[in-house]
Amino acid sequence: MIFPLIAGVLAAAFVATAKEDHMGTWRAWWQGVVDPGATRRASERLRSGLLDQINYARIGAKLDPLKTDPELEKFLERYATELPCDDADAVTQNLQNTLPRYFKVAVCVATKPDPEELLHEFRPFSEKSSKEMTHFACMLKASAGGLSKTCLAVIGQRLEDFSPEALNARKADAFYNVCPHCSFPHVCRVSYQQHSLIMDCPSCGRTYAVVAVDSSGKFRYVNEFLTGYEPPAKFPKDQSSLQKLFTIWSAVHRHCTYTLDPETKKSQIDAWQTAFETENLQRGDCEDSSIFLADWLEAQGFRVRVVLGRYGDMGGHAWCVVRLDGVDYLLESTTGRPDPNNPPYADIVGSRYVPEIEFDRKAIYVRNKPKQAFSGDYWSSKVWARVEPRNHSISSAVRASADVSQQLSASTRRAERLSADKTRLAITGHRQPAVAPFANLDKIPAGSLWQLRARDVADPENSGADAP
Ligand SMILES: [Zn+2]
């Protein structure tokens, strides 16, 4: 009784599909029955066929070929096992939630009984992949009770980790990062028009990286401008630490004429200089002279940080802070003259200085609460969070698989999401051009304390009493 019924149903289905010229359905089904490994092999063939088809079109259009990505394949496999694949929008959304490293994503879904037909069906999709796409994955799944096959194909832009080196390669304008403060994975978009970039986390709002362009046009983490350079100098014997501080500070003033960047480097606005470069050029703007000063002081064992921030309402500025014997000194490296009789106690001269970022050779320090008024504390970890840019490991942060079971209903066949959710985009800032703000330090006593060995020989004005 049952056998004739099954035979009848099969015959009816056969006639229906034959009428619609879908003999392939039965061919594929029958192959599946006689050879269970056929589906897996068909899947492999389709994957390589589809990748070839896409890359053939890309090479023709002078674009880099796509690569496969095991992480993306694993996602598709899990997705196809747990969820229906017919909604490309849902796949896109789920993919970007699960693998936030994928910035731009194009998804295509097609169902055909025969893998050869599927390949043909994907032709328009294969020919349209955009320039910034980097990776590909696809997944073949039996559908219609085994009578047909659904292929889910994804092309995506897999972002590289943010780093000065990745910026310097200039292959993309978007990068992936995980906030070192709050572990939030996100995308940072950069503009190469900007010569210094302050990267703020879109979730916790704290700065996690500051990079600037050097004189050769390459981006560096700002702390890496402190290279450990100190000029060849001989200090007078028996100087106190405070006297030594003034000696170095005065030397920096004398060996660096304050110049705004655009005047000196028209081709490269706001390039930062190392201490060595500033000493050789004998000029620089506020961050150049601050780096010169801090590098030298750090080499002599002082506890010093370069500070980036604002001076009054005059815009962006850079200066140094030193803590010596429990006292904070705010060292202005641009205008004025250091005066040992009038030490620049930070709590006295610092009222108009608003620090935003500090750095020394190893780390940057960012305000834990950037919007709160500055308390005058340049050092404590309550106010300043320390970030070592080379030391915070960025993992690919695959999110909880709970996302996969989140079903969405729209049934578009193909989806292309070309930008990430705005709440996931890092905010990049650009410092204002620096201004010359400081006039409190314009007196320097006669017979000042310092002398440089080589440079000051021909300078009778500075042959001070303590000179060697
Ligand atoms: Zn954060």
- For the domain that residue 309 is a member of, what is the CATH number? 3.10.620
pLDDT at 344 over 50: yes
Would you state the pLDDT for residue 284? 87
pLDDT digits (tens, 9 = 90+) for 42-79: 888 889 999 999 999 999 999 999 999 999 999 999 99
Quick check: is 104 in a domain? yes
Which residue's entry shows tokens 């088809």? 53
Would you state the pLDDT for residue 315? 75
pTM of the model: 0.74
- Average pLDDT of span 440-467: 34
pLDDT at 220 over 90: yes
More confident residue, 234 or 23: 234
Q: Are residues 143 and 15 in the same domain?
A: yes
Q: Are residues 113 and 246 in the same domain?
A: no
How far apart are alpha carbons 325 and 348 in whole angstroms? Answer: 17
Domain assignment of residue 123, given as a range: 2-158
How far apart are alpha carbons 86 and 149 in whole angstroms? Answer: 11
How many domains does the chain contain in total? 2
pLDDT band (50, 70, 90) for residue 460: very low
Distance, CA 300 to ligand 1 centroid (Å)? 35
Domain end point (choices 158, 173, 204) = 158
How far apart are alpha carbons 185 and 288 in whole angstroms? Answer: 33
Would you state the pLDDT for residue 447? 37
Across the chain, which distance is largest between two alpha carbons, in Å? 120
Question: Taking ligand 1, which is a single-atom ion, which protein residues have CB atoms under 5 Å away?
Answer: 179, 181-182, 184, 201, 203-204
CB 304 within 8 A of CB 360: yes
Q: For residue 306, what are the contacts with CB-CB under 8 A and spacing of at least 6?
A: 222, 226, 287, 290, 291, 294, 318, 319, 320, 358, 359, 360
pLDDT at 273 over 70: yes
Domain end point (choices 132, 158, 184) = 158
Q: Are residues 110 and 234 in the same domain?
A: no
Reduce the DSSP state of residue 389 to 3 states and report it: coil
Reduce the DSSP state of residue 252 to 3 states and report it: helix
Quick check: is 51 in a domain? yes
Domain end point (choices 111, 136, 158) = 158
pLDDT digits (tens, 9 = 90+) for 355-389: 999 999 999 999 999 888 999 999 999 999 999 98
Q: Are residues 322 and 239 in the same domain?
A: yes
Distance, CA 9 to ligand 1 centroid (Å)? 60
Would you state the pLDDT for residue 112? 87
Q: Are residues 200 and 106 in the same domain?
A: no
Residue 324 β-bridge partners? 327
Q: Are residues 256 and 384 in the same domain?
A: yes
Q: Are residues 33 and 153 in the same domain?
A: yes
Would you state the pLDDT for residue 466? 36
Quick check: is 139 in a domain? yes
Quick check: is 18 in a domain? yes
Least confident interval from 29-43, 95-109, 157-171, 196-210: 29-43
Q: Are residues 112 and 211 in the same domain?
A: no
Torsion angles phi and psi, residue 413, rounded to 5: -80, -30
Q: Are residues 201 and 87 in the same domain?
A: no
Distance, CA 426 to ligand 1 centroid (Å)? 10
Distance, CA 202 to ligand 1 centroid (Å)? 7
Q: Are residues 376 and 234 in the same domain?
A: yes
- Give Cα 357 distance to the centre of its chain: 17
pLDDT digits (tens, 9 = 90+) for 86-145: 788 888 889 988 998 998 899 988 888 888 888 888 988 888 888 989 999 998 888 777
- Average pLDDT of span 269-293: 88
Q: Are residues 289 and 385 in the same domain?
A: yes
For residue 338, the number of C-alpha atoms closer than 13 Å in the C-beta half-sphere is 26
Q: Are residues 198 and 143 in the same domain?
A: no
